[in-house]
Amino acid sequence: MKVNANIFWLLAVFFAVVAVAYSIWSYFVSLAQIEDYAQRVGPGGITEGHPEWVGTIALALCAVLAGFIAFYIGKVHKAQGGELPEDRLDANIDDGDPELGHFSPWSWWPIVLAGAGSLVMLGLAVGVWISFIGAALTFVAIVGWVYEYYRGNFSH
C-alpha cells in the first residue's frame, strides 16, 4: 500500500510540474500570436496574453486527482497498522482470507437500473415523454437496489 501511495504522489508531482510548464509556455505562445496579429493586421483584438485554459486546468486538476488518491491511500495505509498479506513476500494465500465486505451473490436490480437509464437516454433522443417513464423506473430501481438486503428474508 505504501508503494501505491508513493506512485500516486509521483504522478501528482509530475502533473503539477507539467501544468506549470504548460501554462507558462502557452502564455508566451499567446504573446507571440498577439504580436503576429498586430504585424499582419494592425493593432486591435485581444491585447493581453493568457495561458491556454483547457490544458492548464486539466493538467492542474490531474495533479489534484492523483494527490487526492495518494493522500487517501496513505491514510488507509497508516490506519491498517502493518502490511497486508498481499504486500508481504512471506505471506501465504490463506493469510488473506478475512471478510472483505458484503458482496451480493446475484441481483436483478442492476439490470433494471441499466434499462431505466437507457429509457431516459432514449427519451432524450426520440421523444422526451419516454424519459419521464425512465425516470420513474430509475427511482424504483435505485430504491430496490439500495434496500435489497434490508427487507424480506434478508432484513437485519
List of residues contacting other proteins (CB under 8 A): 1, 50, 53-54, 57-58, 61-62, 64-66, 68-69, 72-73, 76, 79-82, 84, 98, 100-102, 142-143, 146-147, 150-151, 155-156
CA–CA separation, 109 vs 144, rounded Å?
7
The span from the CA of 7 to the CA of 10, in Å, is 5
Q: How far is the CB of 119 from other proteins (least distance, A)?
A: 19
Nearer to other proteins, 49 or 123 (CB): 49
Work out the number of other CB atoms within 10 angstroms of the CB of residue 35. 11
63 C-beta neighbours (distance < 10 Å), count: 19
Residue 38 or 64 having the CB closest to other proteins: 64
Q: Which residue has the cell 510540474?
A: 17
Instruction: Find the shortest distance in angstroms from Cβ 90 to other proteins.
Output: 15
Find out whether 86 and 96 touch, Cβ atoms under 8 Å: yes
What minimum distance in Å lies between the beta carbon of 72 and other proteins?
5
